[in-house]
Amino acid sequence: MSSNVTYKKPLGVGQVATVCTVSKKTVLNWIYEGALKAFTTYGGHYRIWPVNLKKFLDSSGMDIPFEYVDETATHVLIIDDEKPYAQMLKSVISAELPSVEITTTDDGFEGLLLIGEMKPRLVILDVKMPKIDGFQVLELLKSRKAEHDMKILVVSGFLNPETKEQLAKTCADAVLDKLSDISLLVKTVAALIRSDVGALQEELVR
């Protein structure tokens, strides 16, 4: 396999055979033995997620150059110009939800670009930012949010009644104060990732 090919989608048996320079029959044997994790399509064909092929190659000691994007991972994007806060928030979520992949940016414009590239499951957005603030980002995300199954959690350093009222009119799914209890923060993030908005406390839901 050429090392500059990046796989994103599940691979067929033939593609795996090409990557590993073996026959299709060998790949099927790996699947039958349970060494290579695969799933079956509606039409009865085997498909292998790139992440599972990578695990198989690593565990069997096969040194094959292989690049992939793990689309089974849950991506969370944090947009906050307060770098120390964003850094700590990333550490807390990583500690509590280790399977989540987190990217941070301190720039709302870059955040919008990253949303297009990453298609994150959840965007955690600060309100007060230079260049483009949280309200403007929310306005621009309104249409894209409907296209993708994406949730938005707004975190703010100062939530007064007017700000809350304004946020209630946006496409934000939940709003939290930056001083919120950590367990509430983690529960909210986990619920939004699961799209379980019903699990959120009533006052958090827009």
Partner 1 sequence: MPPPQQSELDELQTQITNLKAGIREVAHEINNPLGVLRMAAYLMETTNPDEAKRKHYMSLLNSSIDRIETGLKRLRALRENPSTAATHASPEPPTKQP
The answer to whether 137 and 107 have CB atoms below 8 angstroms apart is: no
Length of the chain: 206
Under the criterion CB under 8 A, does residue 179 sit at the interface with partner 1?
Answer: yes
Which of 25, 131, 158, 194 is in the footprint of partner 1 by CB under 8 A?
158
Scanning 11-19, 113-121, 146-154, 176-184 for contacts with partner 1 by CB under 8 A, the matching segment is 176-184
Q: How far is the CB of 168 from partner 1 (least distance, A)?
A: 11
Q: How far is the CB of 129 from partner 1 (least distance, A)?
A: 11
Under the criterion CB under 8 A, does residue 135 sit at the interface with partner 1?
Answer: yes
Q: Helix 134-147 vs helix 108-118: angle between axes, to the nearest 10 degrees? A: 10
CB nearer to partner 1: give 136 or 195.
136
CB nearer to partner 1: give 88 or 146.
88
The answer to whether 86 and 131 have CB atoms below 8 angstroms apart is: no
Under the criterion CB under 8 A, does residue 109 sit at the interface with partner 1?
Answer: no
Q: Which of residues 66-95 bind partner 1 (CB under 8 A)?
A: 82, 84-85, 87-89, 91-92, 95
Site residues, partner 1 (CB under 8 A): 82, 84-85, 87-89, 91-92, 95, 128, 133, 135-136, 139, 157-158, 160, 162-163, 166, 169-170, 177-179, 182
